[in-house]
Amino acid sequence: MAEGKIIVLDGLDGCGKSTQFEALQQLLREHGKTVKPISFPMYDKPSATLVKMYLHGEFSDTPGGVNAYAASSFYAVDRYANYKLDWEKNYCAGEWILASRYTTSNAIHQMSKLPTEQWDDYLAWLEDYEYNKLGLPKPDLVLFLSMPLELSQQLLSKRYEGDAAKKDIHEADLQYLEQCDRAARYAGERLGWHRIECADGTSLRSITEIRDELFRQIQEELGC
């Protein structure tokens, strides 16, 4: 059986990822693709228990209190479990997998905890661990939504109706998010991600404009 394609949509919290995730599903189906949408972490599944404990601050009240390799493993195990239990059959049947976050998120959120001189070693470890050791399939295309932090924080504030206490330990730590943005730029350049700017200066681009640029990238890279 032919393997499918994996398109990953990633970005920092508050970048509009959920909106574009839904829009891309519809466009791909309109163009005749059988699409299996997946979104990580799978919070409603037992495999995400350690992820939820981590994000709720049960191990540490700051992201850096849990080292990059331990936290990466929490997320990787969630992906592995759901690949085996849910979407492996879809991928092997040739369907297109549209993922909101994937192994890419470890490169963004966990690599940022390390000194920059260790980033290359971490990326090599991550690819070997998730793709070789765990056997997860590599993405065919990674689309990274880039949003200035001040704008993403405004969107997060609206999501939580101004209640900062609802943010998880990632969302609540601005210094950490700034480092994540640097890590995302580095990983994207090293691994060939396509970066989509969601703002023009201090103004947000329209949902439709961003969606159309994302879809153009898919057409150019994968021939949809």
The region, left, alpha or beta by phi > 0 then psi within -120 to 50, assigned to residue 183 is alpha
- The domain total for the chain is 1
The residue segments making up the domain with residue 22 are 5-222
Q: Which residues of 21-58 are buried (b: 16+ CB within 10 A; e: fewer)?
A: bebbbebbeeeebebbbbbbbbeeeebbebbeebbeee
| Helical ranges in the chain per DSSP H | 17-30, 49-55, 68-82, 88-92, 103-109, 119-127, 149-159, 174-191, 207-222
Task: Read off the pLDDT of residues 160-194 as tens digits, 9 standing for 90 and up.
Answer: 455 455 555 555 567 888 899 999 999 999 999 99
DSSP 196: E
- Per residue in 19-76, pLDDT (tens digit) is 999 999 999 999 999 999 999 999 999 999 999 999 999 999 888 899 999 999 999 9
C-alpha span between 97 and 212 (Å, rounded): 19
Q: What is the DSSP letter of 205?
A: P
Q: What is the pTM of this model?
A: 0.88
Query: What CATH number does the domain containing 180 carry?
Result: 3.40.50.300
